[in-house]
Amino acid sequence: MGQTITEKILANHAGIDKATPGENIWVDVDVLMTHDVCGPGTIGIFEREFGKDAKVFDNEKIVLVPDHYIFTKDELCHRNIDTLRAFAKKQNIKYFYEPGTDTYTGVCHVTLAQEGHNRPGEVLLGTDSHTCTSGAFGEFSSGIGNTDAGFVMGTGKALLKVPPTMRFVIDGEIGEGVMAKDVILRIIGEIGFDGATYRAMEFVGSGIDALSMEERMTICNMAIEAGGKNGIMNVDEKTREYVRARTDKPFQEFQSDADAEYYSELVIKGSDIVPCVAKPHSPGNYAPAADCSDVKLDRAYIGSCTGGKITDFIAGAKVLENNKVSIDTFIVPATVEVEQQLVTEKINGKSLRQIFEDAGCQPIAPPSCAACLGGPIDTFGRTHGEEVVVSTTNRNFVGRMGSKDSQVYLASPYTTAASAITGVITDPRKYV
Amino acid sequence: MSIIKGKVYVLKDDIDTDQIIPANFLNLVPTIPEEYDELGSHALAGLPDSYQPFMKPGENKAEYAILIAGRNFGCGSSREHAPVALGAAGVDAVIAESFARIFFRNCVATGEVYPLEVRDRLCDVFSTGDEAEINIEENTVVNKTTNKTYKTLPLGAAKDVVDAGGIFEYARRAGLCS
């Protein structure tokens, strides 16, 4: 019996030939990522348990990406960034993307990709549940808590249970006006909000192969929204090209064997996937966008690790070009690189930034997690009342964007932009 | 600890980490003692208003030692603030039909609360305010108010880690680290 890509990577990092689902194994960690919300607590655990003068296991394998609460007046948030700054200095951490300097990048999962920290075959853990995003690069990646992260910080090792793998085949390319977000919302809708708990989600098929790296990241990003331990995809020429343009570090490719054993398999025809939303208050609450035209909206939001990449803004701009938004529309690039691309990327000679301005969107916010998870009271785009929001983000829990009384519909950038024009949930296919 | 006694607070399915501790409190750092206590005062602050308040205003300890919930408790974020807020509020155990993976692991790693699974849908047969007694050795929970006994699933090796107060203390006692 062969092995899946997830089993092979974990076995490789445990120094064993074969990793069996259910088995607990110690693996070597290649990258540990933390940010401003969980970093100070992780550092607190590390210093409490290993000592104030202890050294991290490897100062080039810890990546600090403050991104959650950057543009706020909240003093504790500033204190937390100061904690990371002092730690980075004391430990001589090589990769610290420091707010207020030209090394600041923005949202951690997009930063990991664009700065070359995502590499096939590696094990990447992070103190954020959306760390599973990195699996789009053919690596094992998963979210952990502060205590586990504190342990990894000191030892470079983690005790992981090998997950069984669920295989998802997207057979054939998705249609015009349909995006990766629609693919993953459809999958979560089918298997349920906890349908992949403890398991690996492996996404394969010609429908996946046809997607850009950014779109693949959208799918792996939301593996956690079905409870998945990790999302993962095969490595192909697109992966290699993306990674090699960003790092010189060598990497090892793994592929699932043809006779690997899977927990389950779900095949969806690419052509059957339609623009959709997840209705409040669960990412598993699937409905085709076309069936929700009675939902009146107050706000549209394009941003976050899920929906704030350059491809997301290109999609949004395609829809908004020569149109006007009828509701408050918020644009939050995930990173500084994406923010710059809003100027350099053009559609019919017009920059994306200009298209958003001309369409009547709110002034573009600086890159960060912003209102995706509510946060401090002065967070850009945060809800404070009974707003009904269509959003490219990943969660629509009660109160997720700030107010317990607001309602969030998760959607692709196409659907979000089309709905911003009409003020109701709208199937975007007539706009693209 | 093998016996946990106290009042229960009952929750339904899919209680996510934003409901356990809303994101505006993530500026608090769990390893700073006064902020640990403050996290407790905000435990379950994100629940919809259809639930009765879990905490009394101005207090940082809840009157409930046990949570009883449905499926997928703790789904969402990896924020360790979630089990910490519950533990800091005085919750000793959460009994649920299933747990989200990262939350379960964070409960064990921190030793803050015992995450106990049950096959029965106890959130439909317990009411908030009922008195209950959990026996972790015998894998039972008794509703003292109705005098009915239910089976919990064995916590296995994770019990020893929670008993020790978390993964580091467990590892030291077991001679796995210094």
Packing angle, helices A180-191 and A213-221, rounded to 10: 20
A vs B: CB pairs below 8 A = 130
Average pLDDT over residues A2-6: 98
Structure-token pair, residue A168: 């998802």
Query: Chain B contacts of A69, Cβ < 8 Å?
Result: 26-27
pLDDT tier, A1 (very low <50, low <70, confident <90, very high otherwise): confident
Length of chain A: 432
- Helix%, strand%, coil% for chain A, nearest 5: 35, 20, 45
Q: Is the dihedral of CA A119, A166, A393, B42 positive or negative?
A: negative
Do B18 and A41 count as a contact with CB atoms less than 8 A apart? no
More confident position, A109 or B57: A109
Nearest alpha carbon to residue A315 among A418, A223, A201: A418
- Dihedral angle over CA of A299, A350, A341, A278, nearest 10: 30
User: Tokens 């809303």 label which residue?
Assistant: B22
Tell me the residue type at B157. Answer: A
The conformation of residue A260, written as its DSSP 8-state character, comes to B
Average pLDDT over residues B111-137: 98
pLDDT tier, B56 (very low <50, low <70, confident <90, very high otherwise): very high
**In this predicted structure, what is the pLDDT of residue B178?**
66
Which residue does chain A place closest to B166, by CA atoms? A147
Residues 120-159 of B with CB under 8 A from A: none
Residue A176, φ and ψ in degrees, nearest 5: -60, 135
Best A43, A146, A378, A410 member to test B by mutation, with max B CBs in 10 Å, is A146
Length of chain B: 178
**In this predicted structure, what is the pLDDT of residue A175?**
98
Domains of chain B, each with CATH number or no CATH: 3-173 (3.20.19.10)
What distance in Å separates the CA atoms of residue A201 and residue A66, rounded to the nearest whole number?
Answer: 28
**In this predicted structure, what is the pLDDT of residue B176?**
78
Do B101 and A229 count as a contact with CB atoms less than 8 A apart? yes
**In this predicted structure, what is the pLDDT of residue B174?**
86
pLDDT tier, B58 (very low <50, low <70, confident <90, very high otherwise): confident
The answer to whether residues A412 and A401 touch, using CB atoms and an 8 Å cutoff, is no
The answer to whether residues A135 and A231 touch, using CB atoms and an 8 Å cutoff, is yes
CA distance A197 to chain B (A): 6
The verdict on B28 touching A (C-beta cutoff 8 Å) is yes
Average pLDDT over residues B55-78: 96
Query: Chain A contacts of B112, Cβ < 8 Å?
Result: none
The conformation of residue B118, written as its DSSP 8-state character, comes to -
Domains of chain A, each with CATH number or no CATH: 5-250+260-268 (3.30.499.10), 277-430 (3.30.499.10)
Which residue does chain B place closest to A406, by CA atoms? B48
The answer to whether residues A103 and A412 touch, using CB atoms and an 8 Å cutoff, is no
**In this predicted structure, what is the pLDDT of residue B26?**
97
CA distance A85 to chain B (A): 16
Pairing of strands B148-151, B140-143: antiparallel
The verdict on B32 touching A (C-beta cutoff 8 Å) is yes
The model's pLDDT over A272-315, given as tens digits with 9 standing for 90+, comes to 999 999 999 999 999 999 999 999 999 999 999 999 999 999 99
Do A404 and B49 count as a contact with CB atoms less than 8 A apart? yes
* DSSP-assigned letters across all residues of A299-329: EEEEEHHHH-SHHHHHHHHHHHTT---SSEE
Average pLDDT over residues B32-55: 97
The answer to whether residues B7 and B131 touch, using CB atoms and an 8 Å cutoff, is yes
Across the strands, what pairs with B96? B117
Which residue does chain A place closest to B178, by CA atoms? A50
The answer to whether residues A128 and A31 touch, using CB atoms and an 8 Å cutoff, is no
Nearest alpha carbon to residue A415 among A277, A306, A284: A277
Q: What would you measure as the largest C-alpha separation in chain B, in angstroms?
A: 48
The model's pLDDT over A167-212, given as tens digits with 9 standing for 90+, comes to 999 999 999 999 999 999 999 999 999 999 999 999 999 999 999 9
User: Has residue B18 got a pLDDT over 90?
Assistant: yes
The verdict on B117 touching A (C-beta cutoff 8 Å) is no
pLDDT tier, B177 (very low <50, low <70, confident <90, very high otherwise): confident
What is the rounded average pLDDT for all residues in chain A? 98
Structure-token pair, residue A134: 């990195």
CA distance B171 to chain A (A): 11
Structure-token pair, residue A227: 């409870």
Do B76 and A397 count as a contact with CB atoms less than 8 A apart? yes
Exposure pattern of A326-358 as b/e (b: 16+ CB <10 Å)? ebbbbbbbbbbbbbebbeebeeeeebbbbbbee
**In this predicted structure, what is the pLDDT of residue B117?**
98
